[in-house]
Structure formats: structure tokens, C-alpha cells
Amino acid sequence: MQRQLIKKGAEADIFLVQWGDRKAVSKVRTPKAYRHPELDGAIRKQRTVREANFISSAKRAGVASPFVYFVDPVNSEIIMEYVDGQNVRDALTPALCREIGRYSALLHANNVMHGDLTTSNFIHDGKRLVLLDFGLAHYSERTEDAATDLRLIKEVFASAHVKSRGAFEEFTEGYRSIAGKKRTDRILENVREIEQRGRYARIT
């Protein structure tokens, strides 16, 4: 199979490739001309290794993520499983909203913040929900960082899924089933504080 560009991103390009007898995905972090070459290489290497580690961390937390076949720090490339399924962005259901909530709580229980929690980063292959793209993931114990993840998915539900009323409430139900009521309520209160700060900043 010839390498085929699937997506060109700000930080990395995604290609469809062949890995042995399997269809796979190659994620390559592209050089940035505005950075010193040596610094750029070090940053891309570090972020490539870090992302591969977060994919593994997600699995340990109980969250389905692509299987990593190969990591090439020198070329800033990760070759991973190609997940054949439907993007949740195009097939959102109440059950999937709850499952996204569960996944988010499982990550947060292990101090993993995804950093780009959107429906576009979830694939459903008919049997399982798979979370993609850990390029912005980081470790944190701060409630505000967990709230930032939830704030983003709430915005996505409100803007990209206007017709899916109650999506965030379903998400919250799934999150609460893992995190518990007390922890969930504390994070949701922080989400409201972030929203209020945003509104205040726009007014002033």
C-alpha cells in the first residue's frame, strides 16, 4: 500500500500505511521552520515519545486506544493500529455520550488529562469505543485541569451537536458512574467557574 495522507494537522500529518499485513496509521510530527532545528528536533522527539506513553497509559486506565506498533523518536513518527469504524462526531447517541463520560472519568482517575476531548477523537468500531490523538495529553491532579477537559466536550456538544439535546447530561451520568457524585459535582462547579471567567473576560 502506498502511503496516503489522511489528515494534515498543525503539529502532525496522519498517513494510512501498511504495517506487515495490516493496515496502519502513521503519525509524523512535521518540522517547524520558526524553531531552531536542534530545538525543533528535540521537541518533536519528546512529544512523540510522550504521546506513545499516554496511549499506553489510557489502556492501563481501562480506556480503549490504538495499539502502538512502532515508535521512531528520530523521525518523530508513531505507527499505530488503524481503527476501522464510524467517527462519533457523525453518529452520536445517548449511550455513546455516557461511554465518553466513563472514559473521561477513567482517565482523570489516573491523573491523565486528554487535552483535546472532542467527539472527533472517538471512533466506534461496532464493538468498542476507541479514543484517539493524545498529542495534547498531560498528567495533572488539579481539579481545574479535569474541568477544562469537561468544558471542552460541553462546548462541542453545544455547538457541533445542537440537535443532540441532553448530550452533556448523558456524558455527566457516565462520568459520575466512575468518579462518584462528590468528585463530579466539584468538577462541574469548576466548569461553571471557568465559564463565568470567560463571560467576564468578553464583557470587559
Q: Considering Cα of 109, then 156, then 52, then 10, what sign does the dihedral take?
A: negative
Annotated active-site residue in 116, 133, 149, 185: 116
Residue 26: count of CB within 10 angstroms of its CB: 25
Question: By the 8 A CB rule, do 94 and 15 touch?
Answer: no
Using alpha carbons only, give the angle 122, 126, 129 rounded to the nearest 5 degrees.
30
The order of strands in the sheet holding 77-81 is 4-8, 12-19, 22-29, 77-81, 68-72
Is residue 116 part of the annotated active site? The answer reads yes
Q: Which residues, 6 or more positions from 84, have their beta carbon under 8 angstroms from its beta carbon? A: 23, 125
SS3 of 79, please?
A: strand
Q: Which long-range contacts (CB under 8 A, 24 or more apart) does 181-190 make?
A: 184/105, 186/143, 187/108, 187/143, 187/146, 187/147, 187/150, 188/147, 188/150, 190/143, 190/144, 190/146, 190/147
Question: By the 8 A CB rule, do 114 and 136 touch?
Answer: yes
Positions annotated as catalytic residues are: 116
